[in-house]
Amino acid sequence: MTVNVLNLINGTWCASRTGRTLSRENPARATEVVSLAPISDASDIDAAVKAAVAAYPAWKLVPAPRRGLMIAEAGRILSTRKEEIATLMTREMGKPIAEARGDVQEAIDTALLVAAQGRFLGGETVPCELPNKFGMSLRQPVGPCGLVTPWNFPVAIPSWKIFPALVCGNTVVLKPSELTPACAAEFVKALVEAGIPSGVVNMVCGLGEEAGAALVAHPGIRAVSFTGSTTTGSLIGETCGRLNRKVSLEMGGKNAQIVMEDADLDLAVEGALWGAFGTTGQRCTATSRLILHASIHDAFMSKFLDRVKKLVVGDGLDANVHVAPLVSAEQRDRVASYVEIAVKEGAKLALGGHVLSSGAYANGYFFEPTVFTGVTRTMRIAREEVFGPVIAAIKVSSFDEAVSVHNDTDFGLSSSIYTRDVNRAFTAIRDLEAGITYVNGPTIGAEVQLPFGGVKGTGNGHREAGMQVYEFYTEWKSVYIDHSGRLQRAQIDT
Ligand code: UN1
């Protein structure tokens, strides 16, 4: 069954003014069209931003606890439709059904957390230096926000942005990935049904270079939040820099799992399997480097390769499948080209490395789970984000070398160390350059109540989730109330 996706502008579901549509195929069976969505242009974006601008004055006056109640209701609606949306997600972007359920669950968790903040969007009160004077700070909304989201977490990532934006009193225009418009529409429908007024949430489908670029640069937009590739993020950052526009960028990763000589090897193998091949490696938190202490390198690798060989590759709707297809033919070819590069640079292909295209794989974008050993820190396979089921193992001979290899990357999202030595664990927490560090757990699977984001080339210093996300979706106002009845001069009258 093909889903016909429409744009949502000012409370009305409508086609693009261009009349153009894009069809999205099931990555496990490319002959099946999952969704048809508008390819919108700058005029559609303009209409949506105007709706968001018009709806803003009334929405920001709705008491935050009431905005929170609507978000809680959206979370409830999502939980009643979890299975239906998860199935659509697996069909539209491929991830295994259990992971698709997890994606929807992450949005439900976010709704619960954010809804409560409607009653707790606090500021501070501080003593003033002058008598009979009161000082406080308040959070205020930023204004209409432009949100550009990726296909790999097609419900969870929009929820990280839209729920906090709304609870703070902002209105939004969402431009979801052209690969997952139907998932985005399901999420937005839950908001509409929860009673969010017309114009407060708008969605415009289309391509990044057309609809996305128009949204980011539109004069009505006050803040832009983007999750996706480093190339696109940097362009968005440049545009917003020129326009003095608030911008939150969440981009690539080259996350590593360190395994020290004292680690529980079976546990570390489990972690690496999940971290590297969960979501077919298409998470920005995916484990794409393994940093192994020389004394356990061979023992680890032999256990690891045994387990990788047993991974079942197939259609994510089959509950027995561990590794689903890549999202698109383009992504599959990109992964294949990285395998070639790694081989040319002298990495040893220990397992996998090929496109799967025969039998049950004939119509899908499947790729073998792939393991490289003998990788050095200068190879491109150790430095560039692949976003696929490929892991590169680097051998080190000490903890200090492990940390140094770990940090020798332009990125800094997630990191992991397997060790039973508490001193090393705490030193790693301090010294690994990353926004997230796991001890004895894989690099993927962040929970929504802690800040999410990275250092160095991964982002531009903002965080999503947790309590930190409100720094992005609000502006601070400082307020001074002088109840002395006379002019008092700060810094002068003592
Ligand atoms: C992403 O890949 O962009 O921590 C997000 C995780 C998930 C979110 C990943 N909760 O792996």
- Residue 30 maps to which CATH number? 3.40.605.10
Q: Is residue 494 part of a domain?
A: no
- Estimate the crossing angle of helix 422-431 against helix 399-407, to 10 degrees: 20
Q: Does residue 198 share a domain with residue 345?
A: no
272 and 213 in one domain? no
Is residue 353 included in any domain, yes or no?
Answer: yes
| 328 and 367 fall within a common domain | yes
Kindly state whether residues 247 and 260 are assigned to the same domain: no
Kindly state whether residues 290 and 247 are assigned to the same domain.
Answer: no
Whether the predicted pLDDT of 321 surpasses 90: yes
Long-range CB contact pairs, 314-320, < 8 A, 24+: 314/28, 314/360, 314/361, 314/366, 315/28, 315/29, 315/360, 315/364, 316/28, 316/90, 316/94, 316/95, 316/96, 316/97, 316/99, 316/100, 317/28, 317/87, 317/90, 317/91, 317/97, 319/96, 319/97, 319/98
Give backbone dihedrals phi and psi of 308, rounded to 5 degrees, phi first: -65, -40
User: Looking at the structure, do residues 160 and 288 belong to the same domain, yes or no?
Assistant: no
- For residue 201, give Cα distances in angstroms to 80, 142, 170: 21, 15, 9
Amino acid letter, 423: N
Query: What is the rounded average pLDDT for all residues in the chain?
Result: 98
The boundaries of the domain holding residue 233 are 3-251+459-478
**Does 331 lie in the same domain as 247?**
no
| Pairing outcome for strands 124-127 and 133-141 | antiparallel
435, burial (CB in 10 Å: exposed 0-12, middle 13-18, buried 19+)? buried
Distance 427 CA to ligand 1 centre (A): 25
483 in any annotated domain: no
- For residue 215, tell me if it sits in a domain: yes
Q: Does 32 share its domain with 76?
A: yes
Contact predicate 151/160, CB 8 Å: no
Residue 313's pLDDT band, with cuts at 50, 70 and 90, is very high
Residues 212 and 236 in one domain: yes
271 and 306 share one domain: yes
Domains: count for the chain: 2
Q: Is the pLDDT of residue 49 over 90?
A: yes
Percent with pLDDT over 90 in the chain: 100
In a domain, 491, yes or no: no
Report if residue 328 sits inside a domain: yes
Q: Is the CB of 230 under 6 A from ligand 1?
A: no
Residue nearest to atom 7 of ligand 1 (CA): 445
Do residue 243 and residue 392 come from a single domain?
A: no
Q: How large is the average pLDDT for residues 271-281?
A: 98
Please name the residue whose Cα sits nearest to atom 3 of ligand 1.
284
Residue 450 lies in a domain: no
pTM of the model: 0.97
| Contact assessment for residue 238 and residue 76, using Cβ atoms and an 8 Å cutoff | no
CATH number of the domain bearing residue 280: 3.40.309.10
> Is the pLDDT assigned to residue 101 strictly greater than 90?
yes
- How confident is residue 494, by pLDDT bands cut at 50, 70 and 90? confident
Q: What is the pLDDT of residues 154-193, one digit of tens each?
A: 999 999 999 999 999 999 999 999 999 999 999 999 999 9
Decide: 415 in ligand 1 pocket, CB within 6 A.
no
Q: Is the CB of 446 under 6 A from ligand 1?
A: yes
Query: Which stretch of DSSP H or E encloses residue 105?
Result: helix 97-117
393-431 confidence digits (pLDDT tens): 999 999 999 999 999 999 999 999 999 999 999 999 999
From the list 470, 460, 45, the residue with the least C-alpha distance to 238 is 460
Same domain as 195, residue 328: no
Q: Is residue 301 part of a domain?
A: yes
